Structure 1
């Protein structure tokens, strides 16, 4: 079995384009925001959040529906400044660690550092998600064992009791397997992010 860190890095690199596409579907701007203008400030905010330049075209289209003209030049100036704040190596890790999308806005020498740290943070985030799924399954299995043991006490036939004991053995084997899997992440109730940096 490959280590969780290696498999999640591979998944992160494969799935990144899909996340970029999925992240583009949220509401762009409200009518009151269009009316307020503040295009430089809006660009600064969008850039600092790592939104791509394509955002301004969505904003312009939406504001046009409200009869408002967008100052795209002011938005672009703000966006450029916001992107500089966004594209730091430290923020790359934070964005990845939170499982946020990266829209490829970083360029120049900071881009590689940002992306390397983003991938590190994303690997930790995804490992934690995988760990949480293991914990949830473990708790489900534990509850199922209690249910089976209760049913075993009330079993009316040998065949029913035999089937329940077999089910309990299978569930206990699964629990041991899950415990082993969780050890790769630090242990039960002890996710260790340092294992995935």
Structure 2
């Protein structure tokens, strides 16, 4: 079995293609995931049941393509591959996911800025700094504080937008 195979021989021989489709749908895998399973199982002379897999995947997508999941996936920083959700749900899912992903990114930037600020504050506690270095670090810290305030303001706006969008697009 290759290192990136989706299934091993035992799984290929015992898998319920419908259940595998359900599982992949719930995980948000695109339809092309079947080709990966097919490649993994071809090595053992086993062919998938594309119809059973597709029916199962559609059932799994019913769970994946829900508004609450779009928010959960975006807040977790997981990307969404266009075309995974059915056309009737795609637009709302993408809108919610994008808004949640923006919140995730803003939180990540705040975390990075906090880390930089903490690092500078630790360095400033050293008694071995030159006056010039200390002044430069204080200046950097003031700039980081401004950046943090701006990013926190942006985060509040993004969270507010996500809340409004979630209320409007709940289906």
Structure 2 length-normalised TM: 0.82
Q: What is the root-mean-square deviation of aligned Cα atoms in Å? A: 2.0
| Equivalent residue number for residue 143 of structure 2 | 177
Q: Name the SS for the 1:100 alignment partner.
A: coil
More off after superposition, 176-185 vs 122-131: 176-185
Structure 2: unaligned runs, 5 residues or longer: 163-171
Q: 1:61 aligns with which of 29, 39, 43?
A: 39
How much has 1:95 moved relative to structure 2?
1.0
Distance 1:181 1:74, change over 3 A: same
| Equivalent residue number for residue 132 of structure 2 | 166
- Equivalent pairs, count: 156
Structure 1 length-normalised TM: 0.72
Q: 2:48 aligns with which of 58, 65, 70?
A: 70
How much has 1:38 moved relative to structure 2?
1.2
Conserved? CA contact 1:93–1:118, under 8 Å: yes
How much has 1:27 moved relative to structure 2?
5.1
Distance 1:169 1:196, change over 3 A: farther
Q: Name the SS for the 1:172 alignment partner.
A: helix
How much has 1:66 moved relative to structure 2?
2.9
Conserved? CA contact 1:47–1:83, under 8 Å: yes
| Distance in 2 of aligned mates of 1:77 and 1:194 | 36
Structure 1: unaligned runs, 5 residues or longer: 1-25, 153-163
How much has 1:195 moved relative to structure 2?
5.4
Larger Cα Rg: Structure 1 or Structure 2? Answer: 1
How much has 1:30 moved relative to structure 2?
2.9
